[in-house]
């Protein structure tokens, strides 16, 4: 029986450095010797590298059961296919990075079953952000010091009872003073009437009718493959199949002469794939200002008003975000900044796609308190898309796809 170990990731964790230290046998060598052992990495980082190989070099390493390459799959399908591929490599140890991110219940069950099958002969090194995600097979948990080195290794039971690990609980969050009343642009903001979407013979959406009004807080739910991303793409104007459909966006009938920028100026939007677009060494302040301009990075001198808006948000976020470059932040902190970036222009509609993936318990609490504060204004409509149920996040309405 292997002694499986988990490492708790917090704001101070540099994921890529941490993973390199594991595979170099420097991080855990005093507790488990990986010298000469074959290891594999189950991570979004692995998926990103494999997709890059597919698109840039036409090298297809991982395929689904129906022979599809990774870049054509949903997030859950990618994770299932990657896990099966890595298991087939028969590794001595498997590094599991945020294993339950962006998956529905069916994919979660698949993952747990596959890991249970190999747990007796494959060592697990689990990297996790949320206390609730620790695998049953884990016996010990490592915590890190400020430099990202192992501070202590304790039993899982002791870790789960530790009081200095902050819980995801409701907190008070005050929006910046500059976040003022937003005049409605239409009523409703969004109206879809019997909208359907197909790609060839594959039906994605059928007869979707949905109205979103100012200040409403919605969760868009449904299993992987039910069409959530496709529906969002119809709302934000990115999907050309929206033309010819009965869709009204911010008072404009789709196809009546509005530009995509006429739509996007009313929407604050965050989806995990956006993070890959931001690789410049911009300051957090400039990242927030770029949201006012809907640009990838900041290429013009900001106005005094734009600087003041960004500084107001930084004051609310606190010291750990101030005077920092975006790329210096942890993965979770970057997501918080991206949410603020989406909010900075005070949009009448905020769309958040899987926003809590990669957030530790502390940053999840910050995010939830931020969303509660926005919802309380009754000015911004929110569409929250997630497979994960956050106990303290309480949408007023749920629109469910796929039954």
Q: Phi, psi (5° rounding) for residue 213?
A: -110, 165
Give the C-alpha separation, 318 to 366, whole Å.
11
Output the pLDDT for position 168. 43
Output the pLDDT for position 181. 62
Residues 114, 82 contacting (CB under 8 angstroms): no
Q: Could you give all domains of the chain from N- to C-terminal order, each with its CATH number?
A: 5-161 (3.40.50.300), 190-400 (3.40.50.300)
List the chain pLDDT tens, one digit each, 403 residues.
578 999 998 755 578 889 999 999 999 988 888 999 999 999 989 998 999 898 888 888 888 777 888 888 877 788 899 999 999 999 999 999 999 987 888 888 999 999 999 999 999 999 998 888 999 999 999 988 877 888 889 999 999 887 454 544 455 677 887 676 666 678 899 999 999 988 888 888 899 999 999 999 999 988 877 888 889 988 887 777 777 789 999 988 887 777 777 888 899 988 877 777 777 778 899 899 888 887 777 778 888 988 998 999 998 888 888 888 888 887 778 888 988 988 888 899 999 988 888 788 888 888 888 899 889 888 899 999 988 878 888 899 999 987 5
Which tokens in the block code for residue 135?
């695998």
Output the pLDDT for position 330. 78
For 24-33, the CB contacts below 8 A with 24+ separation are 27/149, 27/150, 28/125, 28/142, 28/150, 30/150, 31/5, 31/140, 31/142, 31/150, 31/153, 32/3, 32/5, 32/123
Nearest to 382 by CA among 364, 366, 390, 370: 370
Question: What secondary structure, in 3-state letters, does the chain show?
Answer: CCCCEEEECCCCCCHHHHHHHHHCCCCCCCCCCCCCCCEEEECHHHHHHHHHHHHHHCCCCCECCCCCEHHHCCHHHHHHHHHHHHHHCCCCEEEEECCCCCCCHHHHHHHHHHHHHHCCCCEEEEEECCHHHCCCCCCEEEEECCCCCEEEEEEHHHHHHCCCCCCCCCCCCCCCCCCCCCCCCCCCCEEEEEEEEEECCEEEEEEEEEEECCCCEEEEECCCCCCHHHHHHHHHCCCHHHCCCCEEECCEECCCCCCHHHHHCCEEEECHHHHHHCCCCCEHHHHHHHHHHCCCCCCCCCCHHHHHHHHHHHHHHCHHHCCCEHHHCCHHHHHHHHHHHHHCCCCCEEEEECCCCCCCHHHHHHHHHHHHHHHHHCCCEEEEECCCCCCCCCCCEEEECCC
Alpha-carbon dihedral sign for residues 261, 235, 272, 81: negative
Output the pLDDT for position 299. 77
Give the C-alpha separation, 328 to 281, whole Å.
9
Alpha-carbon dihedral sign for residues 104, 12, 325, 43: negative
Matching residue, tokens 């990669």:
358
Output the pLDDT for position 397. 94
Give 141's strand partners. 6, 154
């Amino acid at each position: 029986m292997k002694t499986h170990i988990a490492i708790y990731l917090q704001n101070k964790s540099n994921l890529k450095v941490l993973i390199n230290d594991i595979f170099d046998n420097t991080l855990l060598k005093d507790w488990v010797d990986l010298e000469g052992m074959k290891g594999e990495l189950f991570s979004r980082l692995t998926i990103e590298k494999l997709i890059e190989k597919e698109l840039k070099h036409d090298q297809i390493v991982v395929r689904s059961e129906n022979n599809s390459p990774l870049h054509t799959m949903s997030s859950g399908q990618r994770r299932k296919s990657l896990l099966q591929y890595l298991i087939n490599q028969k590794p001595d140890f498997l590094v599991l990075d945020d294993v339950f991110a962006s998956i529905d219940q069916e994919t979660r069950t698949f993952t747990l079953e596959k890991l249970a099958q190999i747990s007796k002969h494959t060592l697990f090194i689990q990297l996790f952000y949320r206390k609730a995600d620790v695998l049953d097979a884990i016996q010990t948990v490592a915590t890190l010091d400020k430099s990202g080195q192992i501070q202590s290794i304790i039993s899982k039971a002791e870790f789960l009872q530790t009081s200095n690990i902050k819980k995801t609980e409701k907190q008070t969050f005050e929006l910046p003073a500059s976040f003022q009343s937003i005049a409605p642009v239409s009523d409703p903001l969004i109206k879809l009437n019997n909208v359907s979407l197909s790609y060839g013979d594959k039906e994605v959406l059928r007869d979707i009718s949905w109205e979103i009004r100012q200040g409403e807080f919605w969760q868009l739910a449904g299993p992987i493959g039910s069409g959530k991303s496709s529906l969002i793409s119809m709302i934000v104007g990115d999907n050309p199949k929206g033309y010819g459909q009965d869709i009204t966006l911010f008072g404009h009938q789709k196809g009546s002469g509005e530009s995509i920028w006429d739509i996007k100026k009313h929407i604050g939007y965050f989806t995990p794939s956006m993070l890959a677009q931001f690789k410049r060494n911009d300051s957090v302040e400039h990242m927030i200002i770029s949201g006012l301009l809907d640009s990838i990075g900041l290429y013009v001198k900001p106005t005094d008003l734009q600087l003041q808006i960004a500084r107001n948000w930084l004051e609310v976020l606190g010291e750990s975000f101030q005077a920092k470059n975006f790329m210096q932040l942890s993965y979770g902190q970057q997501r918080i900044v991206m949410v603020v970036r989406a909010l900075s222009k005070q949009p009448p509609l905020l769309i958040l796609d899987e926003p809590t993936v990669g957030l530790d318990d502390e940053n999840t609490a910050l995010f939830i308190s931020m969303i509660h504060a926005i919802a309380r204004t009754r000015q911004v409509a929110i569409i929250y898309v997630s497979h994960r149920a956050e106990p303290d996040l309480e949408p007023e309405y749920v629109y469910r796809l796929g039954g």
